[in-house]
């Protein structure tokens, strides 16, 4: 439970730009660094209107393998595919489902994008490897600061990778510089690739948890569009 709560704390720090390592955001990027004004709480009422701590525990079996199309893991975990050791999503129009499991092949996490919601409501949410979830308990460095869930929920709210998943690709966000490809480890700033100054400390890159510290205003607006009237996740706004 402490590990779970540590993850919720990180989400609220990161999405509200209350993260203590926000001081590491390079000065050049401070004008676009954003508080998304989105917050997260463990559910306190379950789908049957009973009190809950928001946590469902299921005995799993071994490691969960992520297929290349990425959908298999949700289907297994939700019980749709295998039907023995998953856990069905709570109604995805009002709960953000976070499946935490032992994922094979060093996969850190996986998310379903909002545009898949209509056709696949039962697998909507994010999946996080146990060892990259939260900041305490079973976490493993360098993915031990809860940033995998920050990144995956960014996808769940329609954010793309900062390099646009192709060479100098477009993430459809204006204030994130074009970047050649994903970054790993903890690069030194400044570093340039396609454009001027790579924003490898953005949560939507692949750097180590301790080296990511920002979303931008453009990312904030893209996430909030999904929650706005007419947006796919508007049902989350009360
Ligand atoms: N590889 C995963 C994805 O593309 C997650 C990467 C998370 N990175 C991190 N530093 N925690 O969704
Ligand atoms: Zn990603
Ligand atoms: Ca961009």
Ligand nearest 127 Cα, by number?
1
**Residues 177-206, mean pLDDT to the nearest whole number:** 96
- Nearest alpha carbon to residue 199 among 185, 209, 210, 214: 214
Mean pLDDT taken over the chain: 93
Please give the pLDDT value at position 71: 67
Residue 193 · residue 179 · CB < 8 Å:
yes
Enumerate the β-bridge partners of residue 18.
none
What ipTM was reported for this prediction? Answer: 0.94
Q: Is ligand 1 within 6 A of the CB of residue 163?
A: no
Which protein residue has the closest C-alpha to ligand 1 atom 9?
148
Kindly give the distance from the C-alpha atom of residue 223 to the centroid of ligand 2, in angstroms, as a whole number: 15
pTM given for the model: 0.96
Ligand nearest 149 Cα, by number?
1
Q: What is the rounded CA–CA span in Å between residue 200 and residue 192?
A: 10
Residue 215 · residue 202 · CB < 8 Å:
yes
Kindly give the distance from the C-alpha atom of residue 235 to the centroid of ligand 2, in angstroms, as a whole number: 24
Q: What is the pLDDT of residues 4-28, one digit of tens each?
A: 999 999 999 999 999 999 999 999 9
**Residues 187-203, mean pLDDT to the nearest whole number:** 95
Kindly give the distance from the C-alpha atom of residue 86 to the centroid of ligand 2, in angstroms, as a whole number: 23
Where do the H-state alpha helices sit in 56-108?
72-78
Q: Which atom of ligand 1 is nearest to the CA of 147?
A: 11
Q: What is the DSSP string of 176-233?
A: SPP-SS---S-PPSP--SSSSS--TTBTTS---GGG--B-BHHHHHHHHHHHSTTSTT
Q: What is the DSSP string of 144-181?
A: -SSHHHHHHHHHHTTPPPTTTTSTT---S-TTSPP-SS
Q: What is the pLDDT of residues 69-117, one digit of tens each?
A: 556 777 777 776 654 567 888 999 999 999 998 888 889 999 999 999 9
Q: Return the C-alpha torsion angle 181, 183, 188, 190, nearest 10.
A: 30
Measured CA to CA in angstroms, residue 161 lies from 41, 122, 181, 199, 200 at distances of 25, 24, 9, 11, 11
């Amino acid at each position: 439970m402490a590990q779970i709560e540590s993850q919720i704390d990180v989400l609220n720090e990161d999405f509200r730009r209350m993260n203590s390592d926000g001081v590491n955001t390079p000065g050049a990027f401070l004008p676009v660094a954003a508080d998304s004004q989105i917050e997260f709480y463990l559910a306190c009422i379950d789908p049957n209107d009973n009190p809950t701590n928001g946590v469902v525990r299921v005995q799993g079996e071994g490691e969960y393998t992520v297929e290349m199309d990425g959908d298999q893991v949700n289907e297994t975990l939700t019980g749709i595919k295998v039907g023995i050791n998953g856990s069905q999503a709570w109604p995805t129009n009002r709960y953000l489902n976070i499946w935490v499991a032992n994922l094979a092949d060093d996969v850190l996490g996986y998310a379903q994008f909002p545009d898949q919601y209509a056709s696949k409501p039962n697998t909507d949410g994010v999946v996080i490897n146990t060892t990259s979830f939260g900041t305490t308990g079973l976490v493993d460095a360098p993915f031990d600061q809860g940033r995998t869930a920050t990144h995956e929920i960014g996808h769940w709210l329609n954010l793309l990778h900062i390099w646009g998943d192709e060479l100098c690709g477009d993430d459809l966000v204006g204030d994130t510089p074009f970047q050649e490809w994903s970054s790993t480890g903890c690069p030194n700033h400044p570093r340039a690739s396609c454009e001027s100054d790579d924003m490898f400390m953005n949560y939507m890159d692949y750097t180590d948890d301790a080296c990511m510290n920002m979303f931008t205003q453009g990312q904030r607006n893209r996430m909030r569009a999904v929650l706005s009237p007419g947006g796919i996740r508007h049902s989350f706004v009360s």
